[in-house]
C-alpha cells in the first residue's frame, strides 16, 4: 500500500496576528485557527491520488501530521472528515518556540512514528504557511529524511512505485520533473480546489482516533526541538498599528470646507 503523509499547520484564521512581546513568536491560542490554505490544497492532492489509485484497484493510505497545541486536534479531525485515513498530532510544551529547523526535525520524528520506523512513499506539504511565509519546512524535511524534493508543485501525476512526475512553476515557465520515491513535494495553493467533507465523513471523523504524542513519544532529541533547537533568533517583530484615527468631516458645506482647509494647514488658497 502506498503511504502518503500530508503535513498540516494550524494558522490564525484572521489577518490580525498577535505576537508574544517576550518571545517574539505568534500567540497560538487556537481560538480561530484554520488549516493553512496551502496545506489544505496539499491534502486535496493526496486525496486525488488516493481516488485515482483506488480506481486502478491500488490502495493508498493518507495520513496527516501536525505539530501544535492540543486544540490542533480538531483541525486534524477535519482532515479525516475530508478523506484522510488517520492523523498524528505532536503536542508538547517542549516543542514550543520552534523555528523551521526544529519544526522539521520534530515532524521527521513524527513521520517515523506514523510509519512504524519506516518512511512514507510521499510527503506533501503546502508550499508555505500563510503566517510564517518561510517555505522552508518541505525542503528541510527532504533533507532530514533524505528524500528527493520538488517545490511549488502545480500538478502531480498518479505516482507509481518507480516514481512520480510533477509540474512546478519556475521563473522560466513550467518545469516537468520526474522524482524517484520516496519524495517530498510542496504544493502551490491554486493547484486544485480542496473538497469539503461529506456528511458520512463528518461522522467518521467524530469517531476516529487522533493520536497525540509528545517529544518522548516520538523519541525526539531534546536539544533539537523547541526554542533550544532553534538557531533562528528573532530580534524584534511587531504588527504595525494604525496611530491616527480618521475624522468624519460633518456640518454644512461651508463648515466642511472650513474644516478641510484647517486640516490642510490653511494651505489651499
Partner 1 sequence: MGVTQVQIEACGSEHEDYLHDESRSTGFAESISFPQSEDEVRAILRELHERRIPVTVQGARTGLAAGAVPHGGHVLNLSRMNRVLGLAHDDAGTFSVRVQPGVVLSELRKYLSAKRFPLNGWDESSKAAAQALAEAPEQMFPTDPTESTACLGGMAACNASGARSYRYGPMRPHVQALRMVLADGDVLALRRGAVSACGRKLALTTEGGRRIVADLPTYTMPHAKNASGYYIEDDMDAIDLVIGSDGTLGVITELELALMPAPAVIWAASCFFTDEQAALDATVSVRAGLSHVAALEYFDPAALDILRRAKASGTAFASLPDLPAEHDGALCCLYVELHCADEDQAMADLGLLAEILGKTGGDAQRAWVARTAVDREALTFFRHAVPESVNMLIDERRRTDASITKLGSDMSVPNERLHDVVALYRATLAKEGLQAAAWGHIGDNHLHVNVLPRSHDEFLRGKRLFERWAHEVTAMGGAVSAEHGVGKLKRDFLAIMYGDEHLREMARVKGAFDPYGQLGRGNLFPEELLAATEEASTGAGPDAAADFAAGTSGAAGFERPGCEGVSA
Taking CB under 8 A as the criterion, the residue among 200, 244, 264, 268 binding partner 1 is 200
Alpha-carbon span 231 to 98, nearest angstrom: 9
For residue 110, give every residue at least 6 positions away whose Cβ sits within 8 Å of its Cβ, in sequence order, or none.
Answer: 65, 67, 88, 90, 213, 218
Say if residues 152 and 127 touch (Cβ distance below 8 Å): yes
Q: What angle do CA 73, 78, 80 make, to 5 degrees?
A: 95
Taking CB under 8 A as the criterion, the residue among 197, 212, 224, 259 binding partner 1 is 197
> Closest CB to partner 1 among 120 and 201?
201
Taking CB under 8 A as the criterion, the residue among 56, 193, 207, 238 binding partner 1 is 193
Taking CB under 8 A as the criterion, the residue among 201, 210, 218, 229 binding partner 1 is 201
Nearest approach, Cβ of residue 89 and partner 1 (Å): 18
Q: Restricting to residues 104-143, name those near partner 1 by CB under 8 A.
A: none
Nearest approach, Cβ of residue 10 and partner 1 (Å): 12
CA 60 to chain centre: 22
Nearest approach, Cβ of residue 144 and partner 1 (Å): 30
Cβ atoms within 10 Å of 239's Cβ, excluding its own: 9
Asked whether position 244 contacts partner 1 by CB under 8 A, the answer is no
Asked whether position 206 contacts partner 1 by CB under 8 A, the answer is yes
Give the interface size with partner 1 as a residue count (CB under 8 A): 23
- Quickly tell me which residue has 517583530 as its cell: 237
> Closest CB to partner 1 among 206 and 216?
206
**Site map for partner 1, 63-92, x if CB under 8 A?**
---------------x--x-----------
Say if residues 101 and 232 touch (Cβ distance below 8 Å): yes
Taking CB under 8 A as the criterion, the residue among 56, 223, 244, 253 binding partner 1 is 253
Nearest approach, Cβ of residue 24 and partner 1 (Å): 26
Taking CB under 8 A as the criterion, the residue among 1, 196, 223, 239 binding partner 1 is 196
- Which residues of the chain form contacts with partner 1 (CB under 8 A)? 13, 34-35, 37, 40, 78, 81, 193, 195-203, 206, 247-248, 250, 252-253
Amino acid at each position: 500500500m502506498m503511504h502518503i503523509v500530508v503535513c498540516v499547520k494550524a494558522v490564525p484564521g484572521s489577518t490580525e496576528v498577535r505576537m508574544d512581546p517576550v518571545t517574539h513568536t505568534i500567540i497560538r491560542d487556537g481560538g480561530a485557527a484554520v488549516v493553512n490554505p496551502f496545506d489544505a490544497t496539499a491534502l486535496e492532492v493526496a486525496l486525488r491520488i488516493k481516488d485515482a489509485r483506488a480506481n486502478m484497484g491500488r490502495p493508498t493510505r493518507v495520513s496527516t501530521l501536525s505539530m501544535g497545541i492540543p486544540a490542533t486536534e480538531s483541525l486534524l479531525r477535519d482532515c479525516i472528515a475530508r478523506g484522510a485515513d488517520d492523523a498524528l498530532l505532536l503536542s508538547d510544551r517542549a516543542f514550543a518556540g520552534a523555528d523551521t529547523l526544529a519544526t522539521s526535525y520534530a515532524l521527521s520524528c513524527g513521520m517515523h512514528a506514523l510509519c512504524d520506523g519506516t518512511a512514507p512513499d510521499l510527503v506533501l506539504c503546502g508550499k508555505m504557511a500563510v503566517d510564517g511565509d518561510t517555505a522552508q519546512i518541505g525542503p528541510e524535511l527532504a533533507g532530514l529524511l533524505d528524500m528527493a524534493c520538488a517545490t511549488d508543485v502545480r500538478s502531480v501525476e498518479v505516482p507509481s512505485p518507480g516514481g512520480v512526475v510533477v509540474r512546478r512553476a519556475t521563473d522560466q515557465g513550467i518545469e516537468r520533473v520526474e522524482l524517484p520515491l520516496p519524495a517530498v513535494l510542496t504544493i502551490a495553493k491554486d493547484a486544485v480546489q480542496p473538497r469539503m467533507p461529506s456528511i458520512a465523513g463528518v461522522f467518521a471523523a467524530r469517531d476516529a482516533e487522533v493520536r497525540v504524542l509528545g517529544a518522548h513519544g516520538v523519541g525526539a532529541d531534546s536539544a533539537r526541538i523547541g526554542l533550544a533547537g532553534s538557531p533562528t533568533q528573532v530580534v524584534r517583530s511587531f504588527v504595525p498599528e494604525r496611530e491616527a484615527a480618521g475624522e468624519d468631516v460633518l456640518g454644512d458645506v461651508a463648515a466642511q470646507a472650513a474644516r478641510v482647509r484647517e486640516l490642510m494647514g490653511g494651505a489651499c488658497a
